[in-house]
Amino acid sequence: MNRAATAPPAAHRVATDAPIAPPIAPPIAPPRAPRAPTNHTGEGLVNRLLSHELRQHGAVYCKSHEGCRADGRVVRPGHGEGVVPIQIKTTAGPVRGTRHQYKFNRVREYSDCMVLCCSLDEMLFWLIPGSELNSINTLKITRGHKWDAPFAVTRQQLAPKLLAAAGIADPHEPTLFEPRTAKQRLEVEGLRSLMHKWPVRVSLPDEEQGTVDCVVRDTRHDTEHDVQCKTAYPYRGGLRVDVSKTRRGRKVAYEHQDFDLLVVHLRDSPERKYVFPIGCLDARGRIGPRGKTWLLLRPDDPKHWAANFLRHASQGLVGH
């Protein structure tokens, strides 16, 4: 997992008159088992490889938020604010029944990106300008044929080729670097409030669509936490938070190994957040096969059970 920071600590604190319960030490959770691989494990591997290779050439690879059209961008030294957008496509290996043919799905509509295709079994790479793929939805690459010879690159060639890429984009271009769905944009809103209003440093995980939305280092206590972020929405006089993941098309409760902290974003009060250690969620029956998949919160009620987990930016995420 990439633990590099992507945002500086907040330079100021925002005061509030709303009641804040005294902070408490987080409950101790059981030891965490290793996470199971996801469908995006291969993309995470390529993200880490890109970051390493570009760093050797003095460049920086920045992963995008989940749901953006560009999976990441290359910040090139000496090019001002211009960046090279990248879309990553992976396949496990050759198409079944073949030895040298590789298939990559949904490669269209990335005309302003460099499309990096990778076969994970042998770590084979093809770097293709997205404009070459505008009329193709499923790309099939056969060794020694049309798409292979002009675009095949070795791992060592990746960084030089990307640094020499012709296309340069604005790093704030919303069609490339903003999530495409309303739900994903809400997640980013919560993440940005953490970056700018809280004394933490935030980095994104290498793999998308997992149970960790970000990795947060609390600068006051020098602790690092895998965080699942949620946004609360109005419901029956309070705020509801869905605490579930999707498995085989249905919602199920989280498990102990999924994350360390659940951080709930309050849209009308970004300097306050609920911070639930996973052990607390377990105690409330929200973890495991029979766990409930939602919480009802009342942030203006100091007697509500969750009041002790409502924290202000000045307190940090954990500790007293």
Please compute the mean of the pLDDT values over residues 8-21 and round it to a whole number.
36
Q: Which residues contact 315 (CB under 8 A, 6 or more apart)?
A: 20, 23
CB 223 within 8 A of CB 239: no
The residue ranges of every structural domain in the chain are: 41-174, 180-315
Query: How high does pLDDT run on average in the chain?
Result: 84
Q: What pLDDT is recorded for position 82? A: 83
Please compute the mean of the pLDDT values over residues 292-314 and round it to a whole number.
92
Please compute the mean of the pLDDT values over residues 95-106 and round it to a whole number.
94
Q: What pLDDT is recorded for position 209? A: 65
* Bridge partner list, 84: 74
Query: Rounded to an integer, what distance in angstroms lies between the CA atom of residue 170 and that of residue 239?
Result: 37
Per mean pLDDT, which of 6-10, 35-39, 247-251, 299-303 is the most reliable? 299-303
Query: Rounded to an integer, what distance in angstroms lies between the CA atom of residue 49 and that of residue 71?
Result: 14
Query: Rounded to an integer, what distance in angstroms lies between the CA atom of residue 76 and that of residue 60?
Result: 7
Please compute the mean of the pLDDT values over residues 58-87 and round it to a whole number.
88
With bands split at pLDDT 50, 70 and 90, how would you rate the model's confidence at 219? confident
Q: What are phi and psi of 278, to 5 degrees?
A: -65, -30
Interval 226-277: pLDDT, tens? 999 999 999 988 999 999 988 888 889 999 899 999 999 999 888 999 999 9
Name the CATH superfamily for 180-315: MepB-like (3.40.1350.140)
Asked whether the domain spanning 180-315 has the same topology as the one spanning 41-174, the reply is: yes
Question: Could you tell me which CATH number the domain at 41-174 has?
Answer: 3.40.1350.10
Interval 112-155: pLDDT, tens? 999 999 999 999 999 999 999 999 999 999 999 999 999 999 99
Above 70 in pLDDT, residue 42?
yes
With bands split at pLDDT 50, 70 and 90, how would you rate the model's confidence at 13? very low
Q: What pLDDT is recorded for position 174? A: 92
Neighbour-count burial of 182, counting CB atoms closer than 10 A to its CB (0-12 exposed, 13-18 middle, 19+ buried): exposed
Could you give the percent of the chain with pLDDT greater than 90? Answer: 55
Q: What angle do CA 213, 214, 218 make, to 5 degrees?
A: 145
